[in-house]
A and B are shown apart, each in its own frame.
Chain A
């Protein structure tokens, strides 16, 4: 982890149909840092994560990525999104493409790589997650865990500066959670900046440098895993942890 701030939000607000989901969230994500976001459902965790790459447009406040305010008119959001990988709860792999095509689509289409380079990279990535022998299969032949690992390397193929994970294991059968977490673990160990919204407390404790507890649209409390999980100061955090731990 370095002192360089990669992503920063200032007073981020967002509402859906009159319901205020984010009530002014401030956060600095440093380069190489692994942040876990925990908290009750409906507390704004996913919305906050989706505001970082502007899949949701914030109503107010700033999203600053690598020193640039990106939530303003005239910004080419697509360019910034290329540097922010995202992994979704429901995988969202492309069912009409083979495993390998899923990985090569974006780098080739966005002219980051020639088809040959992209293919070499895809094979390398697929080998790392143990899906090389499935490269010509369509995603319907994959298990949930395999789909999610594919979704992760699809994002990695764009060589992003940060990876955003939106409850990456919540839709998985229990026996497949481990294989996905180990891919994420390896990424974090490799120094990738990550923000992960998760319900896996053990995993959050193990891999993250910092844990945020979000509820009711604000960051209630944050700290190192030991501070936040073992010695929560806020009543709201204690209540939540007593139910999930």
Chain B
């Protein structure tokens, strides 16, 4: 296997299967990552609020949940999602993609809740004191003073979470959900050119995550400037 044959094979594969990688694989991976981050952020925000609640029981539940999710492999969580979710909502006849998406969302929510909580707690306590000393309620202080500042800490971290999720969705190929890694399995199965297919998929993952991290970085710098 020489370098030039690898290149030739890659060109051959791409000319025949480009749509499998670029259209199906990339779009499913991006959709899965976007769904995961979007709903993960919403649920993560709720978890973060619970984590900061004065009720000890709520905090304990969230802490336990976050620890369990962070302390077990994502692949295991995907398996559980794959088997459990259809059993729990049989009426919906939920498909593999949705089951995997649910598992990814739950996983991401745990991580994002920590991102949001630390983003909120990173805002100087003096801001809360100043707002409360003016007579603002807890809720008004949170929505008018703390959250607008916390968003600047949270958004870049959420962007990075998106980049991480793009890579982690590759585990979903275990269940043939049609993501980029599934494209690799499909093309490898038909061409028996495993190495070349892997290179293609690797380059695509890298381009996706590299471009996105650069965008997040630029956005982060812009937020910093307005401080």
Contact = CB atoms under 8 A, between A and B. Distances in A.
A55 interface: yes
Contacts of B134: 81-82, 85, 105-106, 110, 154-155, 158
Contacts, number: 60
Contacts of B129: 55, 86, 88, 92
Contacts of A85: 133-134
**Main secondary structure on chain B at its contact with chain A?**
helix
Interface stretch (B6-14, B45-53, B105-113, B141-149): B141-149
Interface string A81-108: 1101110101011111000000001100
A95 B227 contact: yes
A92 B135 contact: no
A78 B145 contact: no
A55 B133 CA distance: 7
Interface in A125-173: 138, 140, 151, 154-155, 158
B118 interface: no
A120 to B, nearest CB: 19
Give the contact-size bracket for chain B. 10 to 19
Contact of B126 (A53, A90, A96, A154): A90
B227 A140 contact: yes
Interface residues of A, number: 26
Contact of A158 (B130, B135, B149): B135
A22 B197 CA distance: 72
A19 interface: no
Interface of B: 124, 126-127, 129-137, 140, 144-145, 148-149, 226-227
28 contacts: A55-B132, A55-B133, A78-B135, A78-B136, A81-B133, A82-B134, A82-B135, A84-B133, A86-B133, A88-B129, A92-B124, A92-B126, A92-B127, A92-B130, A94-B130, A95-B149, A95-B227, A96-B149, A105-B134, A105-B144, A106-B134, A106-B136, A109-B140, A138-B226, A140-B227, A155-B133, A155-B134, A158-B134
Given A88-B126, A151-B130, A154-B134, 20 more contacts: A53-B133, A55-B129, A78-B132, A81-B132, A81-B135, A82-B135, A85-B133, A88-B130, A92-B124, A92-B127, A93-B130, A94-B127, A96-B148, A105-B134, A106-B134, A109-B136, A109-B144, A154-B130, A155-B134, A158-B134
